[in-house]
């Protein structure tokens, strides 16, 4: 089915990514499993490919909605809100890969979720599992002053090429792709299996292509495959790389079956030979045509249709509050920020940026811990259609980006965001902390990363001097080594861990410093300490004070920590890292965001099933 918004009322249209037969097949496969016709392992592999992931709690699922390039239309926002209200906890979570996740979904409601989202063209297909995952891209594509060209149509073409591709769901492990058109790597393409960077050579469009990037164990910045590849060749090159990975990847060892391990096993020359053979095979089959001319002509123009009538402030407030979040875990609204007389000016400074198109700005809606309630999703959909171009983009920082906002509309837009509880300043500052879901729901997580995210967000809100000090730097938190919170590439990263004190388990975090996405590729943080969770605000205070006292002019937080010796940082945190069996208080054994004593409950995850 094709879903295209009516331009006269809703803004930009987009064809559907969803197919009804995918959902019918999901229902049939579930019935076969329930009837004992297929084994649990086969069912698990299948449901993961349909975005349905087991949680640490019995009988509930995490459902991941694939949002290609993070682009969401107004009608899709409202449908996402309806799903959050009917089948989840009344809110959704934006991931670091521009997806939407719902938690605590009953398996019986998975089909209903899929069918509700089918009506607005959204799919869960290949959102999880050993597949080509959601293809991400720079959220500023098409409006940035310094971009080489708009990568949107190229990322869109690759998404549609691989969605349902014969090899897309039968890979050794997940396979991630990102597109970036700006000099700054907003999409973090350097840590992807395929990282596409826009280039123009002799007037011709193409890409610098890096491959086999990744984090988790063996963090790797992508290897350079092409300094310049014409856009017309991108699909056949990607197809050939997928073929090599499918044929020679490690299907047996869960911890070393990403593409970076395949290249280490074969060696660069050995891998390159396999790739050249596969590319020749693709070409012998007729190649994969891509019309670069059509993509180059797909220039995003300013909205020329009549926007919707703006809802009143009161109506926005009612809609935002219409659904109360419920269930276990850290809820939206748990993070408490201060109110200041100059909040609007602070918001303008941190959340608003100029587009290259005169008279227009882009606005970042800061989502605390990446969460938005069902009512807030409805409001975001409405505001996108009133003030923007009918769409928004989810970002890898777990926020929402409105584009094509008229500068003259900023005061009214801000008032409505405030009424919806979405007017927080500080977007993309060090106070805008990124966190994975952690042990709240994930089987692999050790700690409650969202609990730490709440505490550090509130702490930095109380220290505006630190936030204004760091012009370029970030904090990212993961509850385990896998790095869904991308802590490996943060200026300051925290990774959940545990230490034993006698017979008791105490939650702690590895502290990493110096990570970042740079012009030279990904830089990975160095582990400098292990700090008990209840001392993390003090640790952060010391890390930022060390930066304040020792930085060079215009030096970013990440660059500072890459420059200074790791031993210096370790010494700064030494007394915090030490804890004798007689030192801890009762609360030291309780993780942030929890009320019960900490337990190390790490289950078998489904990331590589």
Judged by phi (left if over 0) then psi (alpha if -120 to 50, else beta), residue 390 lies in left
Residues 338 and 270 in one domain: no
| Mean per-residue pLDDT over the chain, rounded | 94
Residues 452 and 577 in one domain: yes
Q: How confident is the model at residue 256 (pLDDT cuts 50, 70, 90)?
A: confident
CB 370 within 8 A of CB 94: yes
Q: How confident is the model at residue 181 (pLDDT cuts 50, 70, 90)?
A: very high
Q: What are the residues whose beta carbons fall under 8 Å from the beta carbon of 528, sequence distance 6 or more?
A: 511, 512, 513, 566, 569, 570, 573
Task: Please provide the DSSP assignment of 473-515 as one string.
Answer: --EEEESSTT-TT-GGGSSEEEEEEEEEETTEEEEEEEEEES-
Quick check: 608 pLDDT over 70? no
Residues 80 and 205 in one domain: no
Quick check: 9 pLDDT over 50? no
131-152 pLDDT per residue, tens: 999 999 999 999 999 999 999 9
Task: Please provide the DSSP assignment of 377-390 as one string.
Answer: HHHHHHHHHHHSSS
Give the whole-angstrom CA distance, residue 527 versus residue 523.
Answer: 13
Give the whole-angstrom CA distance, residue 95 versus residue 81.
Answer: 16
Residues 363 and 319 in one domain: yes
In a domain, 308, yes or no: no
pLDDT at residue 602 in the model: 62
Residues 152 and 110 in one domain: no
CB 391 within 8 A of CB 71: yes
Where residue 548 sits, what CATH number does that domain have? 3.30.413.10
Give the whole-angstrom CA distance, residue 607 versus residue 210.
Answer: 24
Crossing angle, helix 343-351 and helix 410-419, to 10 degrees? 110
290-346 pLDDT per residue, tens: 999 989 998 999 999 999 999 999 999 999 999 999 999 999 999 999 998 899 999
- The proportion of the chain whose per-residue pLDDT surpasses 90, expressed as a percent, equals 86
In a domain, 99, yes or no: yes
pLDDT, average across residues 474-482 = 94
pLDDT at residue 2 in the model: 37
pLDDT at residue 606 in the model: 61
Residues 256 and 328 in one domain: no
Residues 153 and 291 in one domain: yes
Q: How confident is the model at residue 5 (pLDDT cuts 50, 70, 90)?
A: very low
pLDDT: is 604 or 457 the higher one? 457
pLDDT: is 517 or 77 the higher one? 77
Q: How confident is the model at residue 518 (pLDDT cuts 50, 70, 90)?
A: confident
In a domain, 162, yes or no: yes
What is the model's pTM? Answer: 0.95
Give the whole-angstrom CA distance, residue 120 versus residue 372.
Answer: 19
In a domain, 57, yes or no: yes
Q: Report residue 584 CA to chain centroid gap.
A: 35
pLDDT at residue 603 in the model: 56
What does the radius of gyration of the chain's CA atoms come to, in whole angstroms? 23
Residue after which a domain boundary falls, among 297, 323, 353: 297
Domains of the chain: total: 4
Sign of the Cα pseudo-torsion (595, 598, 602, 607, in order): positive
In a domain, 393, yes or no: no
Residues 485 and 520 in one domain: yes
Quick check: 8 pLDDT over 50? no
Rounding to the nearest 10 degrees, give the CA dihedral for residues 81, 86, 89, 95. Answer: -40
CB 340 within 8 A of CB 462: no
Residue after which a domain boundary falls, among 235, 268, 297: 297
Residues 185 and 325 in one domain: no
pLDDT: is 245 or 604 the higher one? 245
pLDDT at residue 571 in the model: 98
74-101 burial: b if 16+ Cβ within 10 Å, else e: bbbbbbbbbbbbebbbbbbbbbbbbbbb
Q: How confident is the model at residue 597 (pLDDT cuts 50, 70, 90)?
A: confident
Q: Which of 8, 60, 3, 23 is nearest to 390 (CA)?
A: 8
16-64 pLDDT per residue, tens: 999 999 999 999 999 999 999 999 999 999 999 999 999 989 889 999 9
Give the whole-angstrom CA distance, residue 528 versus residue 571.
Answer: 9
Residue 167 has, within 13 A of its CA and on its CB side, a CA count of 16
Residue after which a domain boundary falls, among 257, 273, 297: 297
In a domain, 152, yes or no: yes
Residues 152 and 234 in one domain: yes
Where residue 63 sits, what CATH number does that domain have? 3.90.480.20
**Which residue segment(s) compose the domain that 443 sits in?**
434-589
Q: How confident is the model at residue 583 (pLDDT cuts 50, 70, 90)?
A: confident
Task: Please provide the DSSP assignment of 35-62 as one string.
Answer: TTSS-HHHHHHHHHHTTEEE-SSTTEEE
Q: Which of 97, 287, 271 is nearest to 176 (CA)?
A: 97
Token couple for 262: 């395949």
Number of neighbours of residue 242 by Cβ within 10 angstroms: 24
Token couple for 45: 């592999």
pLDDT at residue 540 in the model: 98
**Beta strand segments in 398-462, E:** 400-406, 434-435
Q: Which of 307, 414, 301 is nearest to 360 (CA)?
A: 301
pLDDT at residue 594 in the model: 85
Residues 114 and 149 in one domain: no
pLDDT at residue 604 in the model: 61
Q: Give the single-character DSSP code of 172.
A: S
Strands 434-435 and 504-513: unpaired
Give the whole-angstrom CA distance, residue 54 versus residue 62.
Answer: 6
397-427 pLDDT per residue, tens: 999 999 999 999 999 999 999 999 999 999 9
Residues 443 and 585 in one domain: yes
In a domain, 135, yes or no: no
In a domain, 180, yes or no: yes
């Amino acid at each position: 089915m094709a879903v295209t918004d009516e331009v006269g009322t809703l803004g930009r249209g987009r064809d559907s990514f969803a197919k009804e037969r995918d959902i019918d097949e999901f229902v049939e496969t579930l019935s076969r499993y329930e009837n004992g016709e297929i084994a649990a392992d086969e069912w698990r592999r299948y449901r993961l490919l349909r975005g349905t992931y087991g949680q640490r709690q019995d009988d509930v699922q995490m459902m991941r909605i694939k949002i290609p390039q993070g682009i969401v239309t107004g009608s899709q926002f409202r449908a996402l809100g309806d799903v959050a209200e009917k089948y989840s906890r009344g809110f959704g979570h934006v991931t670091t890969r521009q997806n939407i996740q719902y938690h605590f979904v009953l398996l019986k409601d998975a089909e209903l979720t899929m069918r509700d989202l089918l009506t607005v063209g959204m799919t869960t297909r290949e959102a999880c599992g050993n597949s080509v995952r959601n293809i991400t891209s720079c959220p500023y594509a098409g409006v940035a002053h310094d971009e080489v060209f708009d990568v949107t149509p190229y990322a869109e073409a690759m998404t549609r090429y691989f969605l349902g591709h014969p090899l897309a769901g039968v890979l050794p492990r997940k396979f991630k792709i990102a597109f970036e058109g700006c000099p700054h790597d907003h999409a973090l393409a350097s840590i992807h299996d395929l990282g596409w960077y826009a280039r123009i050579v002799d007037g011709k469009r193409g890409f610098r292509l890096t491959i086999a990037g990744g984090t988790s164990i063996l963090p790797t910045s992508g290897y350079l495959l092409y300094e310049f590849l014409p856009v017309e060749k991108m699909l056949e090159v990607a197809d050939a790389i997928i073929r090599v990975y499918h044929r020679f990847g490690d299907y047996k060892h869960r911890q070393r079956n990403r593409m970076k391990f395949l290249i280490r096993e074969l060696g660069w020359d050995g891998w390159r030979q396999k790739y050249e053979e596969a590319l020749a095979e693709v070409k012998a089959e007729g190649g994969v045509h891509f019309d670069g001319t059509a993509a180059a002509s797909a220039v995003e123009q300013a909205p020329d249709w009549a926007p919707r009538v703006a809802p009143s402030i009161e109506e926005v407030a009612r809609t935002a509050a219409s659904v109360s979040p419920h269930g276990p875990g850290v809820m939206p609204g748990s993070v408490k920020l201060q109110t200041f007389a100059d909040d609007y000016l602070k918001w303008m400074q941190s959340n608003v940026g100029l587009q290259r198109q005169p008279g227009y700005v882009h606005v970042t809606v800061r989502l605390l811990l990446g969460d938005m309630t069902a009512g807030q999703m409805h409001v975001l959909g409405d505001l996108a259609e009133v003030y923007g171009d009918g769409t928004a983009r989810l970002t890898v920082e777990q926020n929402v980006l409105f584009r094509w906002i008229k500068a003259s509309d900023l005061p009214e837009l801000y008032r409505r965001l405030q009424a919806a509880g979405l007017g927080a300043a500080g977007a993309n500052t060090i106070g805008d902390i990124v966190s994975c879901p952690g042990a709240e729901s994930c089987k692999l997580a050790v700690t409650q990363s969202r609990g730490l995210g709440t505490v550090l967000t509130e702490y930095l809100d109380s220290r505006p001097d630190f936030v204004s000090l760091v012009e370029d730097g970030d904090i990212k938190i993961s509850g385990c080594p896998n790095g869904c919170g991308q802590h490996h590439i943060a200026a300051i990263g925290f990774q959940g861990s545990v230490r034993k004190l006698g017979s008791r388990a105490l939650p702690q975090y590895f502290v990493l410093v110096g990570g970042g996405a740079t012009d030279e590729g990904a830089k990975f943080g160095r582990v400098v300490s292990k700090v008990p969770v209840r001392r993390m605000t003090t640790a952060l205070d010391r890390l930022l004070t060390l930066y304040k006292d020792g930085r060079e002019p215009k030096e970013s937080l990440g660059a500072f920590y890459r420059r200074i010796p790791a031993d210096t940082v370790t010494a700064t945190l030494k007394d915090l890292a030490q804890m004798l069996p007689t030192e801890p208080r009762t609360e030291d054994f309780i993780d942030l965001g929890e009320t019960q004593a900490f337990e190390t409950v790490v289950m078998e995850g489904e990331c590589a099933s």
